[in-house]
Amino acid sequence: MIEALELRKVFKGKTAVDDVSFYLDEGESVGLLGPNGAGKSTTISMVSSLLKPNAGDVRLHGTSVIGKPQLIRQVLGVVPQEIALYQELSAYENLKFFGGLYRLKGIQLEMKIQKLLEMVGLSDRQKELIKTYSGGMKRRINIAAALLHDPKIVIMDEPTVGIDPQSRNHILDTVRWLNREKGTTVLYTSHYIEEVEQLCSRIYIMDHGRIIASGTKEELRRILSGEDTLLLQLDKPSKELIQELRTLTPIRQVEETENGLKLIAAKQSNLLSQVVQAAERHHIQIISIHVHTPSLEDVFLHLTGRTLRD
């Protein structure tokens, strides 16, 4: 449905996002997990056409939408980290204002506002000024504002950071409702592993501007059974390499993927070196290796040597 291809963003000589690719299929709920400063917000800004990438592309149903913000904004609802509400207006008035920006009006807008206020659990407070709201309540209204035009895709940028547990629960429920009841495609960014595990079926892990691991929850969990799933990105396909890998004892399964191979193998300390040596023998370059493990925290630790909250 929407895909990011090799996105790159450099701020004053410092690379914030480097060669980031991912996709969202229709109706999926996908997590983008990474510590502060990993490049999640910058990536989202590029996907939602608020920021122009230095390189790479964003495609909606296969069509490039870089430089065509009107195309992407029709289908996308973005909930930014910063609260973008008028403090001197009530929650209801804010939603009415934002609805107007989407050219919604009359009974249609009224019904949407009331439905969304109910969804975020703030119907009874709608007449109160935003400046009297807690941080969590403001964020819930921010979410409602991003949903007024019924976007097919919703991107949420760390919506639960620094808020009270009640608001957090309302936000998590809203994401579930959006995805499971309404079939909305969701990209949910967070540095809270448990949220992403609860809400998302597929997860990308980001660090230092790069996607360092990705997979479905099932793939991520498979390792618990004593096996690793390795995704190799190769510079070219090779039947000979596949044949050789099939003869290696720890490897149970070798499958060809779009740009490389997927291996399922018994956990073994020297597996990676065996794979790398086999590739070298066949003059194949391994561009990246993704190892899928059951705990996302473990994957992160394994790849970066630190935890997500360090």
Ligand X SMILES: Nc1ncnc2c1ncn2[C@@H]1O[C@H](COP(=O)(O)OP(=O)(O)OP(=O)(O)O)[C@@H](O)[C@H]1O
Rounded CA separation 143/117 (Å): 10
Applying CB under 6 A, does 40 fall inside the site for ligand X? yes
42 binds ligand X (CB under 6 A): yes
Q: Which residues in 127-186 contact ligand X (CB under 6 A)?
A: 158
**Choices 40-48, 107-115, 118-126, 264-272 (CB under 6 A): range interacting with ligand X:** 40-48
Q: Based on CB atoms, which residue is closest to ligand X, 43 or 94? A: 43
Is residue 54 within the footprint of ligand X (CB under 6 A)? Answer: no
Cα–Cα distance between 240 and 258 in angstroms, integer? Answer: 17
Nearer to ligand X, 8 or 262 (CB): 8
**Nearest approach, Cβ of 61 to ligand X (angstroms)?**
26
CB of 20 to ligand X, least distance (A): 11
Told to check if 11 binds ligand X by CB under 6 A, we report: yes
Give how far Cα 154 sits from Cα of 10, 110, 169, Å.
Answer: 25, 21, 18
Residue among 207 and 244 whose Cβ is closer to ligand X: 207
Query: Would you count residue 39 as binding ligand X (CB under 6 A)?
Result: yes
C-alpha to C-alpha distance for 258 and 93, rounded to whole angstroms:
49
Establish if 293 lies at the interface with ligand X (CB under 6 A).
no
User: For 304, left (φ over 0), alpha (ψ -120 to 50), or beta?
Assistant: alpha
Stretch that binds ligand X, among 35-43, 172-180, 233-241, 254-262 (CB under 6 A): 35-43
Rounded Cα distance, 240 and 89, in Å: 67
Across-strand partners of 291?
230
For residues 303 and 101, what is the distance between their CA atoms, to the nearest angstrom? 44
**Dihedral, CA atoms, 205, 206, 211, 215, nearest 10 degrees?**
10
Among the listed ranges 37-45, 69-77, 87-95, 119-127, the one in contact with ligand X (CB under 6 A) is 37-45
The two structure tokens encoding residue 56: 């790479």
Residues in contact with ligand X by CB under 6 A are 11, 16, 34, 36-42, 158
